[in-house]
Every structure is written in structure tokens, then in C-alpha cells.
């Protein structure tokens, strides 16, 4: 396994560093961010370089990259940075947690991160640059296209097709054999029971304040 440079210096980059360092054979050599965001020359005790100059210190012949950018602009920022890295000749690494339940023949693209507790059934296909936070269910025959983000606890039932650049929120559920069009946002807790047109947003209302002070409910606890 070649050493790895993580693109990003935020929360997802911190997680990526931990996962790769503690649960993979990939040594992390450093980090890279766009020059306009370069505020420190170290992160997590490792060097940080400008992405525009990454090839000088970390040439693609010797290092691979992982782009640790979240769902900003419906994943478009991560997608663009992955494309830039590929155009520079870099290979993009993927991470699958040893604590995720996956089958050895999982069809998985590059620059994916599958965190702990995910259950991925046989015949699922996951494209490039997918981020799956912990504890989701990706059922059989699910197709998750490029640049998608699945938050914790989501359930994608059998045969669901999620097209590119979608955000699937925490604890949402998508019924079997539906198609979620490209560039959709499925909010936390949403229940999807019909096909979703590209560019749609389904957002559930948050739980309302009961109006009762918590001290009056102590007897229920």
C-alpha cells in the first residue's frame, strides 16, 4: 500500500486520518488544502501543503490521495476535487471499515469511505466518492451513483437507485425499487415512498418544543 495524502483539514479529514491510521495498511503522509485555506503548515501532527503544489512534495508516482470533503454544495466540491486529482495523475484510495458488514465482492468505486456499522448486502453497487456514515443499511441491488453522501442510520431498501450527487439524511428510509434523481436532498427522518425527480428536496419538520418545562416532566424520567 502506497502512502496517502488526505485532501482537506476539517472534521471529515480528521476522521479519515484516524480510520486510515488505525484500520488500514495505508500510512498517512500529510494533508493538502487549497492555498486560500492554508492557515497552518501542520494538521494532526503532519505537514499540510497547498493543493495547487501537491505534486512537488507528494508526486502521484509515489503517493495516493483521499479527498475528505463532505456534502458541501450537494457533494459538488468533493466531486470537483476528485476530478482535479485524477487529472493530475493521482489514484484515489477508498476505505471500508473492518467493523462494517460487507461482502468481499462489493462493487465499490474510488475515494469512498464506508464507516463502521454499515450493512451492505450482496449485489449492491457503490460509485466513486461515496461517503457512508455509520449505521446505514444498503440493501441488495441498490445502486448508489457517484458523489453521494449517506448520513447515519439511513435505510435504502432493495433495488433503490440513487443517482449522482445526492444527500441522504440521517434515519431516512427509501422504499424498495424507487429511483432518486440526481442532485436530490433527502432530509433527516424522511420516508420516501415514490420516485423522486432530479433536483428535489424532501425535508421533514423538526420536533416541536412541547411548551412544558422539563422540571415538570421529571416524574416521567
- For residue 137, the surrounding DSSP H or E stretch is strand 137-138
pLDDT mean over 60-82? 97
When pLDDT is cut at 50, 70 and 90, the band that residue 220 belongs to is low
Indicate if 104 and 145 belong to the same structural domain.
yes
pLDDT mean over 86-96? 98
Last residue within a domain, chosen from 87, 117, 152: 87
Domain that holds residue 120: 94-199
When pLDDT is cut at 50, 70 and 90, the band that residue 214 belongs to is confident
The one-character DSSP state at 19 is H
**Is 45 contained in some domain?**
yes
Structural domains counted in the chain: 2
User: Over 90: is that where the pLDDT of 212 sits?
Assistant: no
- The CATH number of the domain holding residue 195 is 2.160.10.10
Indicate if 74 and 123 belong to the same structural domain.
no
**Is 167 contained in some domain?**
yes
Portion of the chain with pLDDT greater than 90, in percent = 92
- Burial class of residue 197 in the structure, from the number of CB atoms within 10 Å of its CB (0-12 exposed, 13-18 middle, 19+ buried): exposed
**Is 171 contained in some domain?**
yes
Q: Which of 88, 13, 21, 2 is nearest to 43 (CA)?
A: 13
**Is 207 contained in some domain?**
no
Indicate if 44 and 112 belong to the same structural domain.
no
pLDDT tens-digit map of 170-211:
999 999 999 999 999 999 999 999 999 999 999 998 899 988
Amino acid at each position: 500500500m502506497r502512502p496517502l495524502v488526505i485532501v482537506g483539514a476539517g472534521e471529515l479529514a480528521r476522521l479519515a486520518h484516524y480510520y486510515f491510521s488505525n484500520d488500514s495498511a495505508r500510512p498517512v503522509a500529510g494533508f493538502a488544502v487549497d492555498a486560500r485555506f492554508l492557515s497552518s503548515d501542520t494538521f494532526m501532527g503532519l505537514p499540510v501543503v497547498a493543493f495547487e503544489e501537491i505534486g512537488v512534495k507528494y508526486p502521484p508516482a509515489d503517493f495516493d490521495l483521499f479527498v475528505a470533503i463532505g456534502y458541501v454544495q450537494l457533494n459538488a466540491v468533493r466531486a470537483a476535487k476528485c476530478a482535479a486529482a485524477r487529472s493530475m495523475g493521482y489514484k484515489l484510495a477508498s476505505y471500508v471499515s473492518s467493523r462494517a458488514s460487507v461482502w468481499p465482492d462489493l462493487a465499490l468505486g474510488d475515494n469512498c469511505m464506508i464507516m463502521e456499522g454499515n450493512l451492505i448486502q450482496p449485489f449492491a453497487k457503490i460509485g466513486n466518492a461515496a461517503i457512508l456514515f455509520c449505521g446505514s443499511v444498503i440493501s441488495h441491488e441498490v445502486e448508489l451513483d457517484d458523489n453521494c453522501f449517506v448520513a447515519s442510520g439511513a435505510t435504502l431498501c432493495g433495488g433503490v437507485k440513487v443517482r449522482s450527487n445526492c444527500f441522504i439524511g440521517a434515519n431516512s428510509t427509501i422504499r424498495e425499487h424507487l429511483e432518486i434523481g440526481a442532485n436530490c436532498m433527502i432530509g433527516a427522518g424522511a420516508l420516501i415512498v415514490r420516485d423522486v425527480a432530479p433536483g428535489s428536496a424532501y425535508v421533514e419538520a423538526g420536533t416541536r418544543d412541547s411548551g412544558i418545562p422539563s422540571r415538570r416532566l421529571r416524574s416521567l424520567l
